[in-house]
Every structure is written in structure tokens, then in C-alpha cells.
Structure 1
């Protein structure tokens, strides 16, 4: 950037962007002797239209309106602030756990509200238990017990209306 900023509108003869410098002798002349004159920078007598409670009248402002008194000392005017938060509605997703027991759910195929039918099927967990029993020494038929126990099998949840598979719970 080079040079000073552009002047404000209405500024002539002043350096741009700087307030005017006070001049010697600038202002109002002192009041004549023996006659009290109220003017800018001097207190106004009580009852005068420009009376401002002991403060000088400011130029450009009219007399105070009737019905408005001086604010009390320590009184602060409060403004009410209202905050409006606009957001998108969130979808609540309910995650159901399909385990051993039947579950009340909506079928994704036929959209019917149903209680699932459960079936047990041999899975990985049953085969691992069978292998462990063979290694331990139960190889004369005892190693096939996990295939007869529902607690070692996977659970398949089906819809009783349309017979479609809804979910499968693997033990492993």
C-alpha cells in the first residue's frame, strides 16, 4: 500500500483519515461580566429547556421529553436476546440384537410386524467344540455331542408370515 487512505466524504483541507486538530482561540467567547450566560459547555439553570441534570446541554438535541426522568444510578437497561436454533430432524435408529430368543420386529421383506421364529443350525462353534473334544480324548462318539446341543449351534431368525430369513446369530 502506498499513500494515505482516501478522504472521508465532506473532508476538505484536512489530512485524510485524521480528526481535525484543535485551533487556538477556537470556541465560544467568555460570557460578559455580571450577566450569567448559559451556553455550550456550561451548566443550565434548573427548569431551563436544555437542563440535563447538571450536565451541559449537548448540541443537536432538543429539550427532554415530559415523563422521562433521570435514570437511577447503577441501573442498567437489559435487552432480551432470543436465540433460534434451526436444525434437521434426526432419525432415531433402533438397533435390535438378534440372539437366542425370538424378537418382536418388522419384517424387511413383507413389512409385517412379527415375532421371529427361531431355528438352530450347526455352525463354526459346534465344529470347534467337536475338535477340542477329539483332542482331549473323547473320540468314541462323545465328540459329536455339540451337534445335539442347541447352545452350541447358530440361531436363524425367520419371518413366520413370509418364511424369509431376517437375521442369523453366529455363536463365534
Structure 2
């Protein structure tokens, strides 16, 4: 009886340099983050172009630059420089018994801070 002459299985560690499959390239950011968007019309990977969206006094529809989701920004109103300066001027005019705090309650004196509702990233501020 003769033995069959089967070659040994391929072992990449034992192969001489230059032989065997090429090393795999590390995945790109788009591939690692869930895949490359595909445009079925052009049969090419889609290109996503983002730009800085100016934020205003109301919530803004945009694509979050951090999580890449299409969102309507969340807004929070906080006293800004105008509110504090107005309160200081009112205080100097003699209305020191609490009237100087009124600008901190008026929406038109407030700055508007925009955040992403999905990832809570800070997106920008609208100053008066």
C-alpha cells in the first residue's frame, strides 16, 4: 500500500516572505463606523460633505458633526453678556433692589446654546 501524497495545509507563518496573501489594510474610519454609504445612482460610494451651519435663536435642522445623524438641535437659553451689562447699567442707575436682575429673565437678552439631542455634543452659541 502506498501513502497518498497530499501537500500540507497552508501556514502563513511558515511561508517565506513575499509569498501568500497580502496583509490586510486597516479599515477606514467610514468602514469601522458602520460602513461606507453607497449611492445606487452612480454606483460609487457616497460622498458626505458637511459644512458649518450657522445657529440662530431657534433650533436648527442640521447633520451633527460628531455623531453624523440628521437632527434638530436642542436649545437652552442662558444669560449672556448683554444681560449682565444691562443689569449692571440698571444697578448704576439706582435700581439695586432686584430690578437689575430683570434682564436675566428676558429672552431677547439671553444667549442660545445649541446641543445635539442624540450625542449631547455642543454645537454652538447664538449671541445677542
Same fold (TM over 0.5): yes
1:73-120, CA deviations, whole angstroms, 9 ceiling, x for partnerless residues? xxxxxxxxxxxxxxxxxxx98653211111100101000010101001
Larger Rg: 1
Which residue of structure 1 aligns with residue 99 of structure 2? 142
**Alignment partner of 2:62: what SS?**
strand
Secondary structure at the aligned position of 2:68 is classed as: coil
Q: Are 1:165 and 2:107 an aligned pair?
A: no
Between the aligned partners of 1:97 and 1:141, the Cα distance in structure 2 is 35
**Distance in structure 1 (CA, Å) of the matches to 2:68 and 2:53:** 16
Aligned residues: 80
- Please list every run of 5 or more consecutive structure 2 residues that lacks an aligned counterpart in the other structure: 1-48
Structure 1 stretches of 5 or more lacking a match? 1-91
Higher RCO, Cα 8 Å, sep 6+: 2
RMSD: 1.8
| Structure number with higher strand proportion | 2
Give the match for residue 78 of structure 2. Answer: 121
| Rounded Cα–Cα distance in structure 1 between residues aligned with 2:94 and 2:74 | 37
Counterpart-to-counterpart distance in 2, 1:154 and 1:110: 24
The TM-score with structure 2 as length reference comes to 0.57
Please show how residues 21-60 of structure 1 align to structure 2 within 5 Å. Answer: none
**Contact kept in structure 1, 2:50 and 2:63, CA below 8 Å:** no
Partner of 1:100: 57
1:152 aligns with 2:112: no
